[in-house]
Structure 1
Amino acid sequence: MSMAMMDVLCSKITIGNADPSNPMKITNGIEITEVHRLEINESYKKLIGTAKVSFPKGTVCRSTIIGTITLEGKDASRITTEVMHDGVIIEKRSTQQLLDETTFKVGQRINIKLGYNGILKNMFDGYITGYNSDSMLEIQCENMAYKLKLKQAPHFETPVKGTTVNEVLEGKYNILKDTGFKIHSDTKKCEIHIGKVKVTDNFTVADILSEWSKYKVYCFLKYDANDEGDMPAIAVGRPYSSSKAQPVFPEDESTGPYRIIFNEHVAQSDLKIVKTDPKFLAVTGKALGTDEKFFEVTIRLNPEYDPTVTGSKQYQTVNATQISKKTHKVTGNTTAAGAATKTKVDLSTYTIAPYMSPHIGITSDQLVEETTEYFRNYNLNGITGNVTIFGDFGLPPAVQVELADNRNPSKNGVYLVEEVTTNFGIGGYRQILKIPYKLKST
């Protein structure tokens, strides 16, 4: 008779002070290996990831005190020695203590490693931002981007035509100077254009990077494969392009796709297949004009399109807005319904997909072309909902997963992970994945 192996949950939480010369290194730290509940929430749409950790009162933590070698009057079983490179012998003494409200301090560094059977994976690095001690000891944390909330951004103004992410972060304007962060190597290879940036008030670096998400330029933390153990880098997801129906992100060997087999890796699923009738799909494209104001057009299929008739147009433009009230220039072409009269077509029964042009100062006709191309490439059969997997992979956001479901093969395909919520504790180890973008079917 054979018995299945039992997977044992393991965690290692280290809390202490950040080394001034290397914030990734924690000094004078304590180690905690038991936790009641832990939740980590990260998304490529948010620069600041968060974590909440709760401990039962009476939890034991362990610390290591380093000093000169003196064994007299001490329990030698708890003392180890180490010979340093310069020949000096130091003493390492392990101590234990109970957690209480005096154990933690706001601003301390925290590192969280999770796994099974003693194999741990680094899941979170950040700082403690708050704590309470009610029935449980609970600490609230933010990831390493917390440091960018403490860095004042310089005042500067870019040209009207706009600039690039590289110029703002590390180039001419260099807002990452003295922050310890740098641009992710794959992001640095791309010329990601953004509109005019004007900083004349008291903004932090985090304020600027978070503001870009409104324009579909997503900044998030990602460890560079070439810099293991260093600070995470600033990765930037390019906005929707005219040839792709989803954001584009830096890719390396860590981005997958990770193959998720439903009957092995999935704990729970509320995924639903959404089939959209292309006749009732509309795409609203938005762009930033040279007057620093947004204008938009909406594209839908022409209900009277006949491919056998010469000159019949497959797509039509509706609900266009004006570029500027001062100039009264209409953004749509001359056939754009509602552009001049301000009459809006009722699209309440349509599925509306958003599109953001990555190009600054384009004309209305160019926006129509980009939005139409996006319509052609839009994935009409996607997925809504989330999938909850076991902690086998320990996934971050902005990676790709390949779903494999033999019972419902319509779900099968490669998807982009937008958000990951990691839960660990007495309920087990789970990750809830939000996967709204299907990259391809398999």
Structure 2
Amino acid sequence: MAVNTLDVLCCKITIGDADPANPMAIQDPVVLTEVQEIEIVETYKKLTGTARVILPKGTVYQSTIIGNATLEGNDASRITTEVMEDGVIIEKRSSQAAVGKDTFHTGQRINIKLGYNGILKNMFDGYVTAYNSDSLFELRCENMAYKLKLKQAPKFETPLSTKVNDVLGDKYNLLKDTGFEIHSETRRFDINIGKVKITDNFTVADVLNDWSKYRVYCFLKYDENSPDAMPRIAVGRPYSSSKAQPSFPGSDNTMPYRICFNYHVAESNLKVLKVDPKFLAVTAKALGTDEKFFEVTVRLNPDYDAGKAGSKEFQTINATQISKKTHKVTGNTTASGAATKTKVDLSTYTVVPYMSPNMRIDSDKLVEEAIEYFKNYNLNGITGSVTIFGDFGLPSAVQVELIDDLNPSKNGVYIVEEVKTIFGTKGYRQVVKLPYKVK
């Protein structure tokens, strides 16, 4: 008779001082292997991911004391020696103690590994940014992008044809002395970011976060060739920005994670969308030649007659000129139709956003792109989230293949937009947010 195995939750939380010479190293670490709850949230739409660690009072941690440090209040369980490179012999004492109000402090490095049955996967690297020691010990953390919030960006101005690789690479040196590099797969995308002007007191994180308004998203991603090294800056566009590039660095040259509903899924909050193309609209946004945002919306023309000369298949509606602070209708010629102040009510339509990957274009070109995107839009996709067990330890911006034998309409390949990892007394789960189907 077959015996079902029991999967035992395991975690390893390492916290200590940051090493100025090696950001990934943790000095004088304490190690925790018990926890009440961990929550990690990361998405490709935000540079900075977060983690929250909750520990009950009395949680025991392990630490290593070097040399003749005092052991008062600690349980010295093992003494070892180690020969350093210069021939000096040092004494190490492994000890245990209960977490106290002075155990942690802000600015410390933290690493979180999670898994089952002693097989752990690296899930988070970052810094402690807040610490609450009231009824429970709670650590609030940010990922390694925290370092970029502390680095002043160099002041420079670029021409209109600037590429992302120019800004992050040797040409403008935005990442100089940050410890970060461009992800190896990002360079080949060669994304045009347009004119970049840094004349004020911005941090490197401010600059990278600002690109999200163009739907150019910067996020941290480990290089598969060296997973234990510093995470790198990955840059990509979502599926809603370019039908020719529905993927992110490293996500299109590997097999998708296969998620079987009858095995991996704990809970599903997915909704299957069957969109009538007669009630579909695409709202396209771009940066015009006057360096202001504008948008146009296209939908099918209800009076379209293919056999009638001059009949147009699509209508252009709700053209607007957009300032940085508000959306307002103006008569600017960069958005034809913007002078019409009466807006079409699209509350009964499925409105799909589109961000042009081309900078400094006119409204005619944007309408062409929106129509092309409309024609290629996947009308039968799904939205929502699915909660899976911690078997995969998924990051964001990877491809997953859903396999549901009972509801095959869900089957297909999707890009993971956001992952919320929950670990603790209620188990190990990942809430995976999915955009529309891409394959």
TM over 0.5: yes
Q: Is the 8 A contact 2:285 2:295 kept in 1?
A: yes
Which residue identity is paired with 2:300?
L
Write the deviation string for residues 93-128 of structure 1: whole angstroms up to 9, x where unpaired.
Answer: 101111011000100000000000000000000000
Q: Give the corresponding residue for 1:191.
A: 190
Shift of residue 85 of structure 1? 4.9
TM-score by length of 1: 0.91
Query: Are the structure 2 counterparts of residues 239 and 172 from structure 1 closer, same or farther at C-alpha, using a change threshold of 3 Å?
Result: farther
Q: Give the corresponding residue for 1:150.
A: 150
Residue 306, structure 1, aligned to residue 305, structure 2: yes
Shift of residue 322 of structure 1? 5.3
Q: Which moved more, 1:219-228 or 1:56-65?
A: 219-228
Q: Distance in 1 between matches of 2:334 and 2:88?
A: 78
Shift of residue 77 of structure 1? 6.2
Q: Give the corresponding residue for 1:331.
A: 335
Query: Does the residue aligned with 1:194 lie in a helix, a strand or coil?
Result: coil
Shift of residue 357 of structure 1? 0.7
Shift of residue 344 of structure 1? 2.2
Residue 219, structure 1, aligned to residue 218, structure 2: yes
Shift of residue 235 of structure 1? 0.3
Shift of residue 20 of structure 1? 1.4
Identity over the aligned pairs, expressed in percent? Answer: 71
Q: Give the corresponding residue for 2:17.
A: 17
Shift of residue 239 of structure 1? 5.3
Which residue identity is paired with 1:345?
V
Q: Is the 8 A contact 2:240 2:353 kept in 1?
A: no
Q: Give the corresponding residue for 1:45.
A: 45
Residue 272, structure 1, aligned to residue 246, structure 2: no
Q: Give the corresponding residue for 2:206.
A: 207
Q: Give the corresponding residue for 2:430.
A: 431
Q: Give the corresponding residue for 1:111.
A: 111
Which residue identity is paired with 1:194?
I
TM-score by length of 2: 0.92
Shift of residue 261 of structure 1? 0.5
Q: Distance in 1 between matches of 2:147 and 2:30?
A: 22
Q: Distance in 2 between matches of 1:426 and 1:243?
A: 42
Q: Report 1:41-440 matches (<5 A).
A: 41-67=41-67, 78-85=78-85, 87-159=87-159, 161-238=160-237, 244=243, 247-251=246-250, 256-321=255-320, 328-332=332-336, 338-440=337-439
Q: Distance in 2 between matches of 1:215 and 1:306?
A: 36
Query: Does the residue aligned with 2:431 lie in a helix, a strand or coil?
Result: strand
Write the deviation string for residues 122-168 of structure 1: whole angstroms up to 9, x where unpaired.
Answer: 00000000111121101000000000000011222222x25211121
Query: Does the residue aligned with 2:438 lie in a helix, a strand or coil?
Result: strand
Q: Is the 8 A contact 1:193 1:359 kept in 2?
A: yes
Query: Does the residue aligned with 1:402 lie in a helix, a strand or coil?
Result: strand
Q: Distance in 2 between matches of 1:75 and 1:296?
A: 66
Write the deviation string for residues 191-220 of structure 1: whole angstroms up to 9, x where unpaired.
Answer: 111132222221111111111112211000
Which residue identity is paired with 1:224?
D
Shift of residue 81 of structure 1? 2.9
Q: Distance in 2 between matches of 1:108 and 1:329?
A: 53
Q: Give the corresponding residue for 2:6.
A: 6
Shift of residue 327 of structure 1? 8.6
Q: Give the corresponding residue for 1:71.
A: none
Q: Is the 8 A contact 1:239 1:358 kept in 2?
A: no
Write the deviation string for residues 41-92 of structure 1: whole angstroms up to 9, x where unpaired.
Answer: 0000010000000111101000112338xxxxx9996122334455544332
Shift of residue 364 of structure 1? 1.7
Shift of residue 401 of structure 1? 0.6
Q: Alpha carbon RMSD of aligned pairs, Å?
A: 2.4
Q: Distance in 2 between matches of 1:342 and 1:286?
A: 18
Query: Does the residue aligned with 1:424 lie in a helix, a strand or coil?
Result: strand
Query: Are the structure 2 counterparts of residues 138 and 327 from structure 1 closer, same or farther at C-alpha, using a change threshold of 3 Å?
Result: closer
Q: Distance in 2 between matches of 1:432 and 1:6?
A: 23
Query: Does the residue aligned with 2:30 lie in a helix, a strand or coil?
Result: strand
Shift of residue 431 of structure 1? 0.2
Query: Does the residue aligned with 1:375 lie in a helix, a strand or coil?
Result: helix
Which residue identity is paired with 1:265?
H
Shift of residue 423 of structure 1? 0.3
Query: Are the structure 2 counterparts of residues 255 and 104 from structure 1 closer, same or farther at C-alpha, using a change threshold of 3 Å?
Result: farther
Q: Is the 8 A contact 1:175 1:205 kept in 2?
A: yes
Q: Which moved more, 1:343-352 or 1:6-15?
A: 343-352
Query: Are the structure 2 counterparts of residues 22 and 393 from structure 1 closer, same or farther at C-alpha, using a change threshold of 3 Å?
Result: same
Q: Distance in 2 between matches of 1:323 and 1:256?
A: 41
Which residue identity is paired with 1:417?
V
Q: Distance in 1 between matches of 2:431 and 2:101?
A: 31
Gaps of 5+ in 1: 69-73, 333-337
Q: Which moved more, 1:239-248 or 1:410-419?
A: 239-248
Which residue identity is paired with 1:426?
T
Q: Is the 8 A contact 2:49 2:143 kept in 1?
A: yes
Q: Distance in 1 between matches of 2:405 and 2:330?
A: 59
Shift of residue 254 of structure 1? 8.5
Q: Is the 8 A contact 1:239 1:356 kept in 2?
A: no
Which residue identity is paired with 2:190?
E
Shift of residue 436 of structure 1? 1.4
Q: Distance in 2 between matches of 1:85 and 1:253?
A: 44
Q: Distance in 1 between matches of 2:427 and 2:294?
A: 48
Q: Is the 8 A contact 2:77 2:94 kept in 1?
A: no
